[in-house]
Chains A and B, each alone.
Chain A
Amino acid sequence: MTDLTPETPSPIRLHKQLERIWGTGPGLQRLAAVNHTVIGKRFMITAFVFFAIGGLLAMLIRAQLATPNAAFVGPELYNQLFSMHGTVMMFLFAIPMLEGLAIYLLPKMLGARDLAFPRLTAYGYWCYLFGGTIIVVSMLFGVAPDSGWFMYTPLSSQPYTPGINADIWLLGVTFVEISAVSAAIEITVTILKLRAPGMSLNRMPLFAWYMLVTALMMVFGFPPLILGSILLELERAFGLPFFDPERGGDPLLWQHLFWLFGHPEVYIIFLPAAGAISTMIPVFAQRKIVGYHAIIAAIVALAFLSFGLWVHHMFTVGIPHLALAFFSAASAIVAIPTAVQIFAWLATLAHGRPRFDIPMLYIFGFFVVFVIGGLTGVMLAMVPFNQQAHDSYFVVAHLHYVLVGGFVFPMLAAVYFWLPHITGRQSVHRISVPAFWLIFIGFNLTFFLMHLTGLMGMPRRIYTYPSNFGWDWLNLLSSVGGFILTMGFALFAVDLILQFRFGRHFRRNIWKASTLDWAMPTRPTSYAFASLPKIEERADGIDPDRLGAELAAGKGYLGFARNNRMETLAVDMTTGRLEHLVVLPNATYLPLLSAGLTGSVVLCTLFKLYIGAIVFAIATVSSFFLWSRTTGLTTDSGPVPVGNGEFVPPDVEVDGSTPWWAMVFALSANGTLFASLIFGALYLWLVAPAWPPAEIADPGFWLWLAPVAMIVSSIVARWATGINRQGGNFAPALFAIVIIDGLTIVLISLALSALPDPTAHAHIATVAAILGYGWLHAAGGFCFALNGLMKARGGYVSARRSLPLRLSVLWHDYTAVTGVIGALLIGAMPMLIGMLEGVR
């Protein structure tokens, strides 16, 4: 046991010591930054740059559509413009923007010094930047994606889009999505574990609840699209016919996978914005939020319901009316939890003493725009009306009302609210108000009229129109509105620059808010809190002015710098009781290296240099070994002092540490991907044309040996952990795992080689995909066992410090379970295909 609690130095000394540990170095060392404040800002700034690019594309679209028979751009270019506008706004602006906000705010609101996995934050940022750059740069070469942002097959398949346009979308977006999923896992674990001591779940600020639900939705919502993109890329590159109706695939499978992601996505975008509103409204109403519990129940309901709406994007594909009715009812029901939130906000304002400021102006704009978007959303949920309005400008109007109303307006409010936190300066109010009115009027002029344009029959995605359809004046006014909107945003940008440049400094807590993020100096220091608070009431009702001064003086937990280590605290998930000490990794270039290597895999795949892609993939995995190499402690330390007279063990010595939970959520995302694959296989069997197949995939008895080997490997992994707990030598067991996993790889390879040509029919292709999934997981198990050996050699494993072994157990258990399910499905396929006799 380390002896005594280190002494708390004077506030200035403490600041200097902590800054030296947590700060990001100057010059090129900025590339090594892992700090959440730095990366959060980078996410948001990059997202705003992409927002500007997306807005520019929208201007070009409006310029083309302003008059009938316009010859400004032709269809080839126009198709790229709207595909890129949608892709950029959804994947490169909205998602990263909300991630950036969460990354910046969450540790500060929860009373932690950083997120749970700082290097992962940085890796996610670089992936986002590289992926986004690949997508945007493609425009400069005229090969941008041009099949629409939802990439319907077969239009996006090889025969109809032979160039690399579609590959850029599939690979670029998947790259960005991987970054989003890793951020989601990190946010989930951070909210559940890295809170200030005493912050039980019932004391968590609503923003954290919103982000927890959002992050979990991302964990379960993104994998279907990632799988869909992988399958489509496999079809485009290697001819595996998952979506080709002539060879047993089905274009509708793509639509299901896409919208299974796509609808939750809308709520993933809306919820963080609603979280920001739930944080701002109490501040300006000068009263605690009304209906804390009702709001939490509402967002959970919203999260689940949003996964049961996806077919309302597919009401015209010929699905039976009863099935449509399920989705129609769910789409109507989802309005209720939204209404609960809106009325909770209204009630908060009604029972408070509302005071006015610029953020409130944007919240007012949000109310107007979002209510209209919600009303048209209910209209579109009605099957017959949807069959008229679907794919018309009515939908374009609706989606902009929902996304701009539900995301952009709240985000603009949030910018005015939290920018003083970021810059330490007050806003210069003079042009904020005209900027708002330009944005508000421009937006409504552009999009309100589009409802009517749609009802008058204008379909989406046409690059021009004749003048006899009665759309001329509507389109002209929409274009005028679009340019007013742009001027508003330009003024907004000027306003921000003025604030950066001329805003007056303020001391603390400019809005008289009562959340923890204001209990710190603004601009925030790299370590956020000089010492960590103990929370004794709900964390949206604290007094930041009193608490902030105490924390800066080092009177909370960890009011000292120790061993040059980045330390923060983890708590019990539910009660918020102080549980263990978390030692975070220091600044490093490794995330940049790994992201660069991952980007190289993407680029090689894009240009069909598959050997290069494999080499870089191996290099990427190897770089993750470097991440792992020096993480952890080489000695058992036992409980260490953390201030306030308390002692807790370090993270490496507890069972439920953050990496373990991250693994649980990563496997949940992975499991969703696997479930989507199984769904795809069964869906094609049940619905796709050109079934039953001419030839049945029979991988032989190798198929049954592989899951047996996986189960054995999982048992040995548990056995290794057991030996370690008793202090025995577990290295032989790890060697055994390496050998068994290697054997499993060989077995699955044999099974794959026994298959008939997988390009012949989707049945064989899906069997190959399931086998490929097992192959990759056996390879993953191999790496986890190797990692265990490496960590043991370095002295990072002991009876108490067993994390590498327990991670390996989780992985092997997961592999065994999915392996058995996959083998059973493959084994059952001949029987299932037999059932089709007579009906198909």
Chain B
Amino acid sequence: MKSIARIFSTVAALLTLSACAAPLSTLDPAGPSATAISTLWWVMFWSSVVIFILMMAVLTTIWLRPGLARTVRPGKWIIYGGLAVPGALLTVLVGFALYTGERLLAHPIEDAPPRISAHGVMWQWQFSYPELGDVGPTRVLHIPAGQPVDILVTSGDVVHSFWVPRLAGKIDAIPGHENVVRIQADRPGSYQGVCAEFCGNGHTRMLFQVEAHEPELYANAVREAAQ
């Protein structure tokens, strides 16, 4: 048992270690949305580890201790293992996930967040800022830090997908449609974004930077970048 525990702590340490350094890591969240999702992930991950170990323990018991496995009547296997346990777990999980999902939506809020447009074309992103007197486009996305920002995502040709893994989940840019994703960077800094939906030969290089500024410096930074 001790050695198993040690393997676990090593794996956990490895996972966290390697996750920290990466600029596109969903496990290194830098905003409330990505943090909520990463919490959901860790909850699901550790539950899955437990479930997997239990399943393997059952399988091993059947093989090595057939007498023990036979004490549970056949019908009980299906009712508990197949219906009751997964049913209960899934109900809790779906409830938790939907609650999390609700919190991440771009609900109308009192302090209407700034709206920035992200327009994907083969193979770059153009960001413009209608609320700052329609400046732009810029190639780097500038946002104020510490507050939510709504990104209006559109496409000029094929389907793209706007993804800044450390800030929030992705949203597709679909020609003819306008999608909104609410992102927030807790601290000023530079974040990496990618196009997540395959969009042809330049898909690989459709990366972009997000610069989060102190709110009071934000408007100037955008105007400077737009020139």
Contacts and interface: CB of A to CB of B under 8 A. Distances in A.
Residue of A148, A155, A350, A382 with most partner-chain B CB within 10 A: A350
A464 interface: yes
A382 B78 contact: no
B37 A385 contact: yes
Report which residue of B55, B80, B81 has the largest number of chain A beta carbons within 10 angstroms of its beta carbon.
B55
Summarize A's interface: helix, strand, loop or mixed: helix
Contacts of A392: 196
A354 B62 contact: yes
Closest CB pairs A-B (n = 3): A457-B24, A387-B169, A245-B176
A385 B159 contact: no
Given A316-B169, A470-B25, A390 B44 contact: no
A615 interface: no
A350 B105 contact: no
Contacts of A690: 176
B98 A372 contact: no
A321 B55 CA distance: 33
Contacts of B19: 455-456
Given A75-B202, A154-B159, A346 B165 contact: no
Nearest to A462: B204
B199 interface: yes
A316 B171 contact: yes
A300 interface: no
Interface stretch (B2-10, B66-74, B143-151): B66-74
Given A152-B159, A350-B77, A459 B58 contact: no
A63 interface: no
Contacts of B90: 332-333, 335-336, 378
B26 A388 contact: yes
A341 B48 CA distance: 19
A154 B156 CA distance: 11
Interface stretch (A42-50, A246-254, A409-417, A431-439): A246-254
Given A336-B90, A340-B78, A154 B175 contact: yes
A647 to B, nearest CB: 43
Interface string A296-326: 0010000000000000000011100100110
Interface of B: 15, 18-19, 21-27, 34, 36-37, 40-41, 44, 48, 51-52, 55-56, 58-59, 62-63, 66, 69-70, 72, 74-75, 77-78, 80-83, 86-87, 90, 93-94, 97-98, 100-102, 104-105, 122, 157-159, 161, 163, 165, 168-172, 174-177, 179-180, 192, 194-204
Contacts of B180: 318
Given A152-B159, A339-B86, A367-B55, 19 more contacts: A154-B175, A325-B98, A328-B97, A332-B93, A336-B87, A347-B74, A347-B78, A350-B69, A353-B66, A384-B104, A385-B41, A388-B41, A391-B197, A456-B24, A457-B194, A460-B198, A469-B192, A470-B22, A689-B176
B77 A456 contact: no
A510 B155 CA distance: 61
Contacts of A391: 161, 170, 196-198
Nearest to B122: A160
Given A321-B101, A325-B98, A343 B175 contact: no
A291 interface: yes
Contact of B82 (A344, A348, A459): A344
A56 interface: no
Contact of B83 (A76, A336, A376): A336
A589 B141 CA distance: 65
Given A379-B41, A470-B21, A155 B200 contact: yes
Contacts of B37: 384-385, 387-388
B58 A328 contact: no
Given A328-B94, A458-B24, A375 B66 contact: no
B62 A349 contact: yes
9 contacts: A75-B202, A252-B177, A298-B82, A343-B78, A351-B69, A378-B90, A391-B198, A457-B192, A462-B203
Given A385-B44, A388-B34, A346 B175 contact: no
A247 to B, nearest CB: 10
B94 to A, nearest CB: 5
Given A335-B86, A375-B52, A456 B26 contact: yes
A468 interface: yes
A258 to B, nearest CB: 12
Interface residues of A, number: 84
Contacts of A155: 158-159, 198-200
Nearest to B20: A470
A800 B94 CA distance: 59
A382 B44 contact: yes
A294 interface: yes
Nearest to B105: A321
A341 B196 CA distance: 35
A364 interface: yes
Contacts of B203: 75, 461-462
B176 A456 contact: no
* Residue of B36, B48, B203 ringed by the most chain A CB atoms within 10 A: B203
Most chain B CB within a 10 A radius of its CB, from A321, A328, A390, A456? A456
B208 to A, nearest CB: 13
A147 B90 CA distance: 36
Contacts of A386: 169
B52 A371 contact: yes
B169 A388 contact: yes
Nearest to A689: B176
B59 A346 contact: yes
Contacts of B93: 332, 378, 382
Contact of A459 (B48, B75, B196): B196
A129 to B, nearest CB: 30
Given A378-B93, A456-B22, A154 B177 contact: no
Contact of A246 (B66, B87, B176, B195): B176
Contact of A316 (B170, B194, B198): B170
A340 B202 contact: no
A336 B86 contact: yes
A143 to B, nearest CB: 15
B18 A456 contact: yes
A476 to B, nearest CB: 14
A251 B198 contact: no
A145 to B, nearest CB: 12
A457 B199 contact: no
A350 B62 contact: yes
B29 to A, nearest CB: 10
A462 B105 CA distance: 29
A271 interface: no
B159 to A, nearest CB: 5
A477 B52 CA distance: 23
Contacts of B94: 328-329, 332, 381-382
Contacts of B97: 328, 382-385
A507 B55 CA distance: 38
Contacts of B195: 459
Contact of B25 (A252, A367, A456, A468): A456
A457 B168 CA distance: 12
A347 B62 CA distance: 9
Q: Which of A317, A452, A471 has the most CB of B within 10 A?
A: A317
B182 to A, nearest CB: 12
A342 interface: yes
Contacts of A468: 23
Contacts of B101: 321, 324-325, 382-384
